[in-house]
Chains A and B, each alone.
Chain A
Amino acid sequence: MSTRRSILLLVVLLLLQLVALAVQTDASEGHGSLAEQTFLRAAAPFARAMTAVRDGFGVLGGEFRLWGQLRRENAVLRHQVDELRFDLLRLYRVQGEVERLEEATAYQGGHSGPFLIADVVYADTESWLRSLIVHVSGGTPQVDQPVVTPDGVVGRVIVVAGAYAKVQLITDRSASVGAMIERNRRQGLVEGGPSGELLLELVPLHEEVLSGDRVVTSGTDGIFPRGLVLGTVQSVTPSGGLFHHIEIDPAVNPQQVDQVYLLPTESPPETLRDSTGDASH
């Protein structure tokens, strides 16, 4: 093939890809093209296999190390179980009161229903964009599903390919989550910072924000239910404008996550989202 024809072919191929890229970026976010889903389906099993190998070695080595620790922990845990039994009794009483109050005010709770358990098979937390690939064994993930651990929010599903899903971390620079300071219920917007930290934006200077304040989801972004932990305030400095510059220590370290939960969520109707704008995108 002549050089001129090769260059022509290259230009055509690059142009086609550029158009596909532009269309994809412009279209509804994150649903993933057929090519992306196909390549994710093909590549993710290898990542999963490597993770399984690592886990296998980890289990073997861990068995030896854990033997001594388990005996000590057992004694401590027995003591904690007694304490928790007492707490449980107290919580049953509180739950009864809450249910009676909910009934009285006809309030319907937020994130109820079954959640999906997913294994992290690939984590890229330091590259261009921060993301995870997870494998869901007992169900089908959906785009925009919140991803959490018992410690707090991890991110949201952006691409689904069969049992595999790509998750955008909340620490990613292009991610944002509706948030509030738990102590005074002041709402703001949490965004990913340049070094893996979180930034709480849009909190006016006259609001009191203290180091150590817990920041939770506000439920205003239409994706994350209210009350999930995002992190704790690390530092508060005046930004020079109308708002505080607030750095948050994320509740979840994505580098240490190996299993996550995908919460069920019911997004607001498209018409409402379109007319009000969506903070999470």
Chain B
Amino acid sequence: MRVIRFILALAVCTLIQTAGLQITPLFARVVDVFLVLVLVWALPSSPLQAMLYGLVAGWTTDALAGLPFGTFGIADTLTAFTVAMVAQRLVIERGISRFGIFTAAALVQIGTLTLLARVFAAATDMPGLGWVALKAVTTGLLAALAVGLGGGIRRRWARARRDRGSRLRFG
């Protein structure tokens, strides 16, 4: 079930990415929606699951982007694994902590991509530092917001179910 939800979310990300690029060609420089998805799904997952989520999302990005196929796959796998490992060792309750971890993870992904692009696609345009910072912050912020909103919705849903159950018992 969780895998199907992930694939659906991946499809939604593809739609968002396409729509974003139609609105402004700078969209891909400002945010990586596939990375947002990877971060959100990696946080509550085991490192193994996170790796697989990162791999599939990275390969989808590769299929759409121009870099040699597999570049985003490697970067997203590594990033997802890092986030899952960090989440296993730290208690991440506050939104600001999540934002910090996600932004750092986005920087790890961009750093890995830059390294791989230098090795496998020498003539690639490297993004400026300003764009890198903006993308990391935007991606981190969106991922933190998505986790926060998702948690809120899940809590509300669970409370509603509990209330309904209690009414049935005592009514």
Contacts and interface: CB of A to CB of B under 8 A. Distances in A.
Contact of B70 (A3, A17, A172): A17
Interface in B39-65: 46-48, 51, 55, 59-60, 62-65
B152 to A, nearest CB: 28
Contacts of B66: 124, 127-131, 166, 168, 172
B68 A25 contact: yes
Interface residues of A, number: 49
- Helix, strand, loop or mixed for chain B's interface? helix
A89 interface: no
Interface stretch (A44-52, A59-67, A209-217): A44-52
A10 B70 contact: no
- Helix, strand, loop or mixed for chain A's interface? helix
A9 B48 contact: yes
B121 A49 contact: no
Contact of B71 (A21, A32, A50, A173): A21
Given A14-B77, A49-B15, A125-B25, A21 B70 contact: yes
Contacts of B97: none
Contacts of B17: 47
Contacts of B85: 3, 6
B21 interface: yes
Interface of B: 11, 14-15, 17-19, 21-22, 25-26, 28-29, 46-48, 51, 55, 59-60, 62-71, 73-74, 77-78, 81, 85, 113, 116-117, 120-125, 127
Interface of A: 1, 3, 6, 9-10, 13-14, 17-18, 20-22, 24-25, 32-33, 35-36, 39-40, 42-44, 46-47, 49-51, 54, 121-131, 133, 166, 168, 172-174, 192, 194, 255
